[in-house]
Amino acid sequence: MTTNTLKHVAIVAAMHGDEVYGIELYNAILTKHPELADYISLIVGNERAYSERKRYIDTDMNRSFGLAKESHELQEIARLKTTLRTTKPDYILDIHTTRRDSGNFFISGELNASRIAICSLFNFDVCVMKDPVINTSFIGNNSKAISLEYSLKSIDASTTLNFIENTTKLITQAPLANANTNQTIYEVERLISPDEYSSYSPLVNYEIKNEGTALMVPKDESEMDAEYFGFWCKEAA
Ligand SMILES: [Zn+2]
């Protein structure tokens, strides 16, 4: 391979400090492909929350971009931005996990060439976030970034191998052909309200209601690892 065509991928892991799979993915890809070390960066999103294995210290970092209210997370955001300015990645994969049984999928801002290149490699559904919650999130403030939301119930050895294979293709730009016949692109119109969640109880992932297709829905209190009750999605036209 000619190195001058290689792209640089940044893996942002543990923006929620208790979501550590991104660190495992980074280690796995470097173990398999040490020759790509110069083209992959690991950036721990929330370093202190990660060291304490907590979701956050003061407030949810992924709801704090662009906010002025002083918090520990604002310092982490400043460090993340500085690191990205130095690293200058071509692509940014922001890795999250959930206890909810929602499969593995992307959460994206408006699709652009960089995000489409990433999505075309993975056979995962894509949720383009339209709810205002995106305005204070990482992907709402960095057009190269896309979030990958892995359900802890869906992760196994093949998930990690799949990530290694796809990220390697992203770096080497080896065939970016779209083979994803099963991929659906959704628009997330808004979050599911607490009232809707309780009135539909039980509401199941990928169930279709008048409001749309439900995704990221917690089964019960044990899966409430985020403050919201899921997304109402519609298939993109
Ligand atoms: Zn997360």
Q: What is the mean pLDDT of the chain?
A: 94
For ligand 1, the distance from its centroid to the CA atom of residue 63, given in whole angstroms, is 11
Clarify whether residues 195 and 119 are in a common domain: no
For ligand 1, the distance from its centroid to the CA atom of residue 96, given in whole angstroms, is 4
* 180 in any annotated domain: no
* 181 in any annotated domain: no
**Rounded mean pLDDT, 175-196:** 84
* 178 in any annotated domain: no
Question: Is the pLDDT higher at 154 or at 180?
Answer: 154
Clarify whether residues 46 and 95 are in a common domain: yes
Clarify whether residues 75 and 121 are in a common domain: yes
pLDDT (tens digit per residue) in 22-67: 999 999 999 999 999 999 999 999 999 999 999 999 999 999 999 9
For ligand 1, the distance from its centroid to the CA atom of residue 98, given in whole angstroms, is 7
Clarify whether residues 97 and 213 are in a common domain: no
Clarify whether residues 160 and 193 are in a common domain: no
Q: How many domains does the chain have?
A: 2
Clarify whether residues 14 and 40 are in a common domain: yes
For ligand 1, the distance from its centroid to the CA atom of residue 136, given in whole angstroms, is 14
For ligand 1, the distance from its centroid to the CA atom of residue 60, given in whole angstroms, is 9
Clarify whether residues 78 and 123 are in a common domain: yes
For ligand 1, the distance from its centroid to the CA atom of residue 71, given in whole angstroms, is 18
Clarify whether residues 44 and 159 are in a common domain: yes
For ligand 1, the distance from its centroid to the CA atom of residue 225, given in whole angstroms, is 9
Residue 201: per-residue pLDDT: 87
Clarify whether residues 31 and 75 are in a common domain: yes
**Rounded mean pLDDT, 161-178:** 87
Last residue of a domain, one of 118, 137, 172: 172
For ligand 1, the distance from its centroid to the CA atom of residue 131, given in whole angstroms, is 17
For ligand 1, the distance from its centroid to the CA atom of residue 148, given in whole angstroms, is 9
* 183 in any annotated domain: no
For ligand 1, the distance from its centroid to the CA atom of residue 87, given in whole angstroms, is 22
Clarify whether residues 195 and 96 are in a common domain: no
Clarify whether residues 141 and 198 are in a common domain: no
Q: Which domain holds residue 221?
A: 188-235
Does the pLDDT value for residue 236 go beyond 60? yes
CATH number at residue 42: 3.40.630.10
For ligand 1, the distance from its centroid to the CA atom of residue 141, given in whole angstroms, is 16
> Would you call 155 exposed, middle or buried from its count of C-beta atoms within 10 A (0-12, 13-18, 19+)?
middle
Residue 182: per-residue pLDDT: 81
Clarify whether residues 153 and 225 are in a common domain: no
